[in-house]
Structure 1
Amino acid sequence: MRVLTVIISFAMAAYSFAATAFYTSRLEKIARAVGFDMSVVMPPGIDTTGVVSHGGRPLRVRTNANGDVSHIGYKIFDDRVIGSYGSTDVFDFIERYVLELDLKLDGRSAALRMDVDNVKIVRGDMQMLRSVTPQTPFTIEEITRRMYRLKWNVGREELCLTFPADCQLMLGADVLELENMLERDVMRMKPLENGWKQALNGKELSAGDNVIIVDGGKYLSELIRGDIYLTVRNGEKELYCDRKNPSRSVGNIMLTGHSVKELPMRLSIVKYGDDTVLSGVTVRQFVAFCRAQGCKLYFGIKKTDGRRLTGTLFALNERMAYNHVLSVDFPLGILSGEREEVKAVVYPYIPLQNVTERFFIQDIE
């Protein structure tokens, strides 16, 4: 009986340890440092305050759609302000980073840690930053692809903070972990059935013959665009798909992920360590993953020989200044209903200053 009790105790302990999942290893370290109850099962998609606190201040805890704890930090910003901005990335970083400075997870002082990260208090001091609350008036300035500048009015004084638009800094994960996160998140992505309609946010232009172009703009060159083609049937708009025009059809599939049937994709992830090849992933999953990250998609066709089309998909995230670059080999028989596999190689989380037209012009497979 005693042996059985011990076994049950160990099983419960193991369950408790695994009950809470974290989006990054940094968040797990923060959770342990602030005494987060690791046995708490957090429901997906919540934003709550008061589950745990530090230094007498309640912390904001958020989970993503998969139930991972995706954010822990001081509640510095008002929920309505975050909602109106359209993205939580910048606000999450500030809330988590200020908490990290207090926790000293790596043993560095706040001043030394900020110096390493190139996070600067231009006016004011650390004590003022610690005193900021959701009621403190502030402004935010985004210098596209480069940096952010936040200003608060703390009493009669101004506090000004700047930090670079750097995905590793803002997400709290190095490049090796980011690559593993991409592998994990693409595999478990569950795209919406009509998620392709989210991509239809450009100006509509007529292309004749009941075809409409949704202007998605260009990236790097005129040959790399985000244009989506629609056709009108029985008064309803549908995505254009016709073997007679593979360029438009494949472009539509790669920009929206949508096709009549799920398209399997053999995805090779180029890593700093060993490359990884994933099977069991679909084109729709990868596109949905990019869009869930807030990326804008552009596609350029390199060549086609009537049997295969090769091209490059660029997933641009301006707010954190990175690209996922996907080199694609697309069998055109798919457009006629044949069961074939799309082959692709992804170069993940490339800083924007490193992305040039060579990723499109050269054969980088």
Structure 2
Amino acid sequence: MKFFANIIAAVLTLSALGGPTAFGAPVLYDADCLERMVDALDYDLDQQYAWDSADTTLMLEFKKRPVRIDISDGRVVHVGYRMFSDSQREHMPYRQVFDFLERYALDAELPVKRVKSVGTMLAEDEVTCSESGFSRLRSYASDSTLLLSVADIGGRRYRVEWHKEDTPVYYIEFPIEYELLHGTSMPENERRLVADIQAWKGSRERVDTLTSREELVPIYRKNYYILPGDSYLLDNLTSNRYYMLTEDSDSLFVPIYTRDYPLESLATLLVTGTLPNDFSFEMKVDGYNMLPTVTVPVNAALDYFRSCGCVPFFGVGDFTDPVATCYLVMRNPSEGYCHLMRVTANVSELDSRHGTMACRLTPYIPMSRVASLFDD
């Protein structure tokens, strides 16, 4: 028997991009838990709405409380109680926090058979809150008279607080962990990651140029310039980029991209992800699933990681000409993980800008464990 057949659905279209609605097309979900939640709400998206290329928010009710279903590019990306205003979402860079709290609060109240009680779930997920309890989250989050603050505590936990003037009235804390924030498992993450990289169409190739010497550090013995970036874990794991003067200018700098400077070229190619090339990754995922090796354009893969909020750091593991073994760490502190890519490239292919690079990808490593991978 279906529950809550009297759910009221009012469609609020925020924007529609890329053409007409594609009625009858299957609805895709960013996570398995989102599909399960929509099913528990007794709301049949496949029958009532489907999107080909649209950004839409559906507003409905559950237990007389507002629920939002967010769709982006035809995929359901969020399901949860509507606890945070559009203004808060627009002006505070914590969408992953808002989505988590809204989804978690709704999921705790859905009419599904539970293996664990809500209290056990909170304890195992290391979610803590004020003495008034988790059930009070919705009322405080929906109180427009309270001030809201979100804090990152040492890169390990988020703390969300509501204040009455200067007095805290409620807080909730939880780990910065990708699986918790998105309600997913690691096998699901791996499966979706490979599929999303293969389907990604967002790459925009361009050649980076610089006109300001002030940003660059000259390396005279190498006859090039460095645009210094940050380092991560190790001094030689950096986001540095390498540049040379153009032949007919004393002020225009272009990225190094030549066999004459193989490691600097690889660093700039993989850190920027925007230099024109026809390189492909032969990508193998090391993880829980026995996923097949896939071939993906280098720039498209790097562009996908950047679109997810990852920042790249490059280091050299070994170089025996012409084979270079490099490491590319894609770091996403706001969601608590790194992707580690071990890339093997034949540098003799740099001048032709065409070839394949072997890539072993270890995805979604918790940031607390990344340092141990470089102990040796």
Runs of 4+ in 1 over 6 A off after TM superposition: 154-157
Is 1:24–2:42 an aligned residue pair? no
2:137 and 2:353 map into 1 onto residues whose CA distance is 59
Deviation string 1:167-214 (CA, Å, 9 cap, x unpaired) is: 1100110111011011111101123324786xxxxx932326795433
2:224 and 2:128 map into 1 onto residues whose CA distance is 51
In the TM superposition, what is the alpha-carbon distance from 1:273 to its structure 2 partner? 3.1
165, 168, 180: which is aligned to 2:191?
A: 180
8 Å contact kept, 1:265–1:342 = yes
Alignment correspondent of 2:80 = 73
Alignment correspondent of 2:293 = 277
215, 221, 227: which is aligned to 1:204?
A: 215
Deviation string 1:220-260 (CA, Å, 9 cap, x unpaired) is: 11111011223454565532212211111100111122333
223, 229, 245: which is aligned to 1:216?
A: 229
> How many aligned residue pairs are there?
339
Distance 1:215 1:238, change over 3 A: same
Matches within 5 A, 1:1-365: 19-39=26-46, 40-42=49-51, 44=53, 46-50=55-59, 52-64=60-72, 66-103=73-110, 105=112, 107=114, 108-131=116-139, 132-133=141-142, 135=144, 136-153=146-163, 158-194=169-205, 204-207=215-218, 211-233=224-246, 236-279=252-295, 281-337=296-352, 339-356=354-371, 358-359=373-374
> TM-score, normalised on structure 2?
0.82
8 Å contact kept, 1:309–1:329 = yes
8 Å contact kept, 2:318–2:324 = yes
In the TM superposition, what is the alpha-carbon distance from 1:296 to its structure 2 partner? 1.1
The letter for the 1-side match of 2:229 is: G
CA RMSD of aligned residues (A): 2.7
In the TM superposition, what is the alpha-carbon distance from 1:157 to its structure 2 partner? 6.9
In the TM superposition, what is the alpha-carbon distance from 1:318 to its structure 2 partner? 0.9
Distance 1:338 1:76, change over 3 A: closer
8 Å contact kept, 2:323–2:344 = yes
SS of match in other structure, 1:247: helix
Distance 1:122 1:196, change over 3 A: farther
1:180 and 1:105 map into 2 onto residues whose CA distance is 25
8 Å contact kept, 1:62–1:72 = yes
8 Å contact kept, 1:167–1:320 = yes
Deviation string 1:88-136 (CA, Å, 9 cap, x unpaired) is: 1111111111111111545244323212211111343234212121724
Higher mean C-alpha deviation, range 52-61 or range 152-161: 152-161
8 Å contact kept, 1:323–1:352 = yes
1:343 and 1:176 map into 2 onto residues whose CA distance is 22
8 Å contact kept, 1:218–1:226 = yes
8 Å contact kept, 1:298–1:314 = yes
8 Å contact kept, 1:47–1:60 = no
Alignment correspondent of 1:12 = none
8 Å contact kept, 1:152–1:158 = yes
Distance 1:151 1:247, change over 3 A: same
In the TM superposition, what is the alpha-carbon distance from 1:315 to its structure 2 partner? 0.6
> TM-score, normalised on structure 1?
0.84
The letter for the 1-side match of 2:161 is: K
The letter for the 2-side match of 1:239 is: P
Higher mean C-alpha deviation, range 240-249 or range 352-361: 352-361
Deviation string 1:77-96 (CA, Å, 9 cap, x unpaired) is: 22233233334111111111
8 Å contact kept, 1:167–1:322 = yes
1:259 and 1:151 map into 2 onto residues whose CA distance is 43
8 Å contact kept, 2:271–2:312 = yes
Gaps of 5+ in 2: 1-21, 209-213
